[in-house]
Amino acid sequence: MSGGHSTYTPTNGFTKWLDSRLPLIRVMNDNVTNFPTPKNLNYWYTFGAILTFCLAVQLVTGIVLAMHYVASADKAFASIEYIMRDVNYGWLIRYVHMNGASMFFLAVYVHMFRGLYYGSYKAPREILWILGVIIYFLMMATAFLGYTLPWGQMSFWGATVITNFFSAFDQVIPGLGSGVLEWLRGDFAVDDAAVKRFFALHYLLPFVIAGVVFLHIWALHVPGNNNPTGIDVKGPQDTVPFHPYYTVKDGFATAIFMMLFAVFVFYAPNYLGHPDNYVEANPLVTPAHIVPEWYFLPFYAILRAVPDKLTGVLLMFGAIGVLFFVPWLDWSKVRSASYRPVFRQFFVLFVIACLALGWAGAQPAEGAALLIAQVGTFYYFIFFIFIMPVVGLWETPRKLPESIAKAVLAKNGHAAVQPAQ
Q: What amino acid occupies position 216?
A: H
Q: What is the torsional sign of CA 162, 164, 170, 171?
A: negative
Stretch that binds another protein, among 88-96, 116-124, 130-138, 382-390 (CB under 8 A): 88-96
CA 198 to chain centre: 20
Query: Contacts with ligand HEM in 40-99 (CB under 6 A)?
Result: 45, 47-49, 51-52, 55
Among 129, 242, 339, 346, binds ligand HEM (CB under 6 A): 129
Distance (Å, whole) CA 130 – CA 116:
12
291 neighbors 362 (Cβ within 8 angstroms)? yes
Q: For residue 51, how many C-alpha atoms fall within 13 Å in the half-sphere facing its CB?
A: 24
Q: Which residues contact 222 (CB under 8 A, 6 or more apart)?
A: 1, 2, 3, 124
Among 6, 42, 286, 345, binds another protein (CB under 8 A): 42
Q: Which is nearer to ligand HEM, 311 or 403 (CB)?
A: 403
Write the binding mask 200 to 239 for another protein: x where contact by CB under 8 A, - elsewhere: ----------------------------------------
CA-CA-CA-CA dihedral for 294, 297, 298, 304, to nearest 10: 180
Among 35, 69, 105, 121, binds ligand HEM (CB under 6 A): 121
**Burial (CB count within 10 angstroms: exposed 0-12, middle 13-18, buried 19+), residue 208:** middle
212 neighbors 141 (Cβ within 8 angstroms)? no
Write the binding mask 180 to 219 for ligand HEM: x where contact by CB under 6 A, - elsewhere: -----------------------------x---x--xx--
Among 8, 137, 278, 381, binds another protein (CB under 8 A): 278
Q: Which is nearer to ligand HEM, 228 or 287 (CB)?
A: 228
* Smallest separation, CB 384 to another protein (Å): 21
Q: How many CB atoms neighbour CB 138 within 10 A? A: 17
Q: Considering CB distances under 5 to 8 angstroms, the limit depending on partner class, which of ligand HEM, another protein, none binds residue 220?
A: ligand HEM
Q: Which residues contact 374 (CB under 8 A, 6 or more apart)?
A: 305, 306
Q: Which is nearer to ligand HEM, 76 or 145 (CB)?
A: 145
Write the binding mask 97 to 116 for ligand HEM: x where contact by CB under 6 A, - elsewhere: -----------x--xx--x-
Distance (Å, whole) CA 284 – CA 156:
11
Give the footprint of ligand HEM on this chain (CB under 6 A).
Answer: 45, 47-49, 51-52, 55, 108, 111-112, 115, 118, 120-121, 125, 128-129, 132-133, 135-136, 209, 213, 216-217, 220, 225-226
